[in-house]
A = this chain, B = another copy of it.
Amino acid sequence: MAGNLEAVLDALDEGREAALARLFEILKIPSISTDPAHNRDCAQAAQWCARTLNGIGFDASVRPTKGQPMVVGHIQAGGADVSHVLFYGHYDVQPPDPLDEWQTPPFDPCLKEDEANGQVIAARGASDDKGQFMTFLEACRAWRDVNGCLPLSVTVLLEGEEESGSPSLAPFLEANRQELKCDFALVCDTGQWDAATPAITSMLRGMCSAEVVITGPSRDLHSGMYGGPAQNPIRVLAGILGALHGENGEVRIPGFYDGVRGPGKEQLDQWNALAFDPSDFLGQVGLSKPAGEAGHSVLEQLWSRPTAEINGIIGGYTGPGTKTVIPSRASAKLTFRLVPGQDPEKIIAGFRTFVEKRLPPDCTAEFLGERGSPAVGFDVSAPMFKAAAQALEEEWGKGAVFMGCGGSIPIVESFQSQLGMDTLLVGFALDDDRIHSPNEKYNLTSFNKGARSWARILDKLAALQPVNS
């Protein structure tokens, strides 16, 4: 049974204020999953999500894990012979630091007038991912309010560890395989091509992370009493990390590019035809020259080339003033963005070898926090991709772009490898949303038209033959 789409869209338009008020409720909860000090906030956010799903008509509950809890909810379609989809989002957010760069407090959401974007919702998580997943829930709410039921059977899975490597996700999918296995998955955690052009993301880089701690002297030393003969672990670490990239921006870990499958000519042609201005993209963040591999376009560097990034480094004295210390240890956190064909375990092993080969006498390296998930790519000629593209075009008045994405959404790889599901990635984030940075925002238009877009997508998907039937 399909429903009355036009009435759903009208209901979404009429209910905008209430929907925004609901979003503000969840934005107020500082659910920072990477910091144990915020465990209670994560639990509170999970409870809020379960309550909200139940209020829409789902049968939802908070499900404990070894880390932050999951939220799972189910609702049956009004009719038979329709697909059962799994919608995924995450209620956790990145740490807000540096706090002093926020113009408004990160967990006190507000509407602000933005010169380029009109009204925007300002808060940590406004875009990534609370604002995004709420577009789907609001579409479900309106569908059910208007039609008494949803046009598809929907299971919602909301995770609380997406920003901290999703350690509980794979075990949870494994343990709840029967409950979570659907025909395919929907994820709202990606971006549009631009503010006017919707997009479906069909390639996602994978990611693996590593932390390395270099130890030299057995204790901190005075640089006057030992400086010269004593090995300095900051110097060693800088030397190793300084050798990580070659002159042309390539990563110098042996075997790093083994197996990399570049995008086909057709895909490259499509990307090259996009109205993309590298100067503008980089200029928005104060840069001008692409720092990735020479010989690859900026879109390739972002979507189809792997990277090695140093995300953090610390060693020695970093307080005010001077301290003439040779520290015992220095450490760095790295992440590697992966593309199809790369094996995260081999990349991590290659990094270890790269470090160990460069260790001078008397230094040791300890490796922590190693985790990884490979990249994924989908066949966009499948019916659900076409249906979603058509729905987006009807809402936005412009054809949807099939994009790559430089970011990693490990869940998509897990859905494929663990539950055998493809994923339809539709999102309404914009490049200037400042996710993971101070002053994160989500355009009010993204929020409102995002919900309308999902209503249209649900309608189109309900009209398809069930994928696996």
Tell whether A295 is near chain B: CB-to-CB under 8 Å: no
B337 adjacent to A219 (CB under 8 Å):
no
When all copies of this chain in the complex are counted, the total is 2
Interface residues of A in 219-261 (CB under 8 A from B): 219-232, 234-235, 237-245
* With A229-B291, A242-B241, A313-B330: A337-B224 Cβ-Cβ less than 8 Å: yes
- 9-residue interface stretch from A14-22, A134-142, A266-274, A298-306: A298-306
| Residues of chain B contacted by A165 (CB below 8 angstroms) | 321-322
* With A278-B229, A286-B362: A316-B312 Cβ-Cβ less than 8 Å: yes
Tell whether A171 is near chain B: CB-to-CB under 8 Å: no
B321 adjacent to A223 (CB under 8 Å):
no
* With A322-B369, A406-B227: A312-B311 Cβ-Cβ less than 8 Å: no
Q: How far is the CB of A94 from the nearest CB of chain B, in Å?
A: 6
Q: Which of B239, B289, B327, B337 contacts A227 (CB 8 A)?
A: B337
B242 adjacent to A291 (CB under 8 Å):
no
Tell whether A324 is near chain B: CB-to-CB under 8 Å: yes
Tell whether A318 is near chain B: CB-to-CB under 8 Å: yes
Q: How far is the CB of A390 from the nearest CB of chain B, in Å?
A: 27
Q: Which of B228, B245, B332 contacts A305 (CB 8 A)?
A: B228
Chain A 29-44 interface mask (CB, 8 Å, partner B; 1/0): 0000111100000000
Chain A 333-347 interface mask (CB, 8 Å, partner B; 1/0): 101010000000000
Q: How far is the CB of A100 from the nearest CB of chain B, in Å?
A: 13
A216 adjacent to B287 (CB under 8 Å):
yes
Chain A 363-401 interface mask (CB, 8 Å, partner B; 1/0): 000000100000000000000000000000000000000
Q: Which of B218, B232, B313 contacts A291 (CB 8 A)?
A: B232
A222 adjacent to B302 (CB under 8 Å):
no
Chain B residue with the shortest CB-CB distance to A284: B218
Tell whether A448 is near chain B: CB-to-CB under 8 Å: no
CA–CA, A293 to B95, complex, Å? 43
- Interface bracket on A: 35 or more
| Residues of chain B contacted by A278 (CB below 8 angstroms) | 229
* With A220-B437, A221-B285, A225-B435: A322-B333 Cβ-Cβ less than 8 Å: yes
B225 adjacent to A323 (CB under 8 Å):
no
CA–CA, A310 to B332, complex, Å? 15
CA–CA, A71 to B359, complex, Å? 48
Q: Which of B36, B163, B369, B431 contacts A225 (CB 8 A)?
A: B431
CA–CA, A428 to B343, complex, Å? 59
B95 adjacent to A323 (CB under 8 Å):
yes
| Residues of chain B contacted by A289 (CB below 8 angstroms) | 231, 360-362
CA–CA, A291 to B234, complex, Å? 13
B232 adjacent to A310 (CB under 8 Å):
yes
> Taking each of A97, A298, A320, A321, which has the highest tally of chain B beta carbons within 10 Å of its own beta carbon?
A321
Q: Which of B313, B322, B406 contacts A318 (CB 8 A)?
A: B313
A205 adjacent to B219 (CB under 8 Å):
no
Chain B residue with the shortest CB-CB distance to A435: B222
Given contacts A223-B337, A234-B332, 19 further A-B pairs with CB under 8 A are A34-B319, A34-B320, A34-B321, A35-B321, A95-B317, A164-B322, A217-B285, A217-B287, A225-B406, A225-B407, A227-B302, A232-B310, A237-B238, A237-B313, A239-B241, A241-B242, A312-B317, A312-B323, A322-B369
A interface with B by C-beta (< 8 Å)? 33-36, 94-95, 97-98, 101, 163-165, 191, 205, 207, 209, 216-232, 234-235, 237-245, 278, 281-282, 285-293, 298, 301-302, 305, 307, 309-327, 330, 332-333, 335, 337, 360-362, 369, 405-408, 431, 434-438
6 tightest A-B CB contacts, nearest first: A224-B407, A242-B242, A218-B286, A34-B321, A228-B301, A312-B316
A-B contact pairs, 6 of them (CB 8 A): A209-B322, A222-B407, A227-B307, A227-B337, A289-B361, A312-B317
